[in-house]
């Protein structure tokens, strides 16, 4: 079982819709959870972090964490074509000192 799993997609949504990206992790001791956005040919860029159960909102982005289900998600409201990118979920497993990344979900927002 991979430490961090994401649906590889690709995921396509129309402009203005809500995009929902999901991630599960295997280590129950994981403490911190991150979403990075990576445009094609570019490096990952941190967009959201979440540390406790519940929702965290930042503009059009909402991160949701459920530690009991070992599940973290990212919602993008009012999706724009500029949101088209690969979204990487990253986790700090309990005993680790680095981030572990999922394989990413490719999102395309159609005009």
Partner 1 sequence: EAGVAQSPRYKIIEKRQSVAFWCNPISGHATLYWYQQILGQGPKLLIQFQNNGVVDDSQLPKDRFSAERLKGVDSTLKIQPAKLEDSAVYLCASSPTGNPNYGYTFGSGTRLTVV
Q: Residue numbers of the site for partner 1 (CB under 8 A)?
A: 4, 8, 31-32, 34, 42-46, 49, 51, 88, 90, 92, 96-104
Please report how close the Cβ of residue 46 comes to partner 1 at its closest, in angstroms.
Answer: 5
Choose between 17 and 100: whose C-beta lies nearer to partner 1: 100
Choose between 14 and 59: whose C-beta lies nearer to partner 1: 59
User: DSSP letter at 84?
Assistant: -
Q: How far apart are CA 84 and CA 38, in angstroms?
A: 9
Number of helices and strands (H, E) in the chain?
0, 11
Please report how close the Cβ of residue 10 comes to partner 1 at its closest, in angstroms.
Answer: 11
Pair 69, 54: CB distance under 8 Å = no
Q: What's the full length of the chain, in residues?
A: 111
Please report how close the Cβ of residue 15 comes to partner 1 at its closest, in angstroms.
Answer: 26
């Amino acid at each position: 079982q991979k430490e961090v799993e994401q649906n590889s997609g690709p995921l396509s949504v129309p402009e203005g819709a809500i995009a929902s990206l999901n991630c599960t992790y295997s280590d129950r001791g994981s403490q911190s959870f991150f979403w990075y956005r990576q445009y094609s040919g570019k490096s990952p860029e941190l967009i959201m972090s979440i540390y406790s159960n519940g929702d965290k909102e930042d503009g059009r982005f909402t991160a949701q964490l459920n530690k009991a289900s070992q599940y973290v998600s990212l919602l993008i409201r009012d999706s724009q074509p500029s949101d088209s990118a690969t979204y990487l979920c990253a986790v700090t497993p309990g005993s680790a000192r680095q981030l572990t990344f999922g394989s990413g979900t490719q999102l395309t927002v159609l005009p």
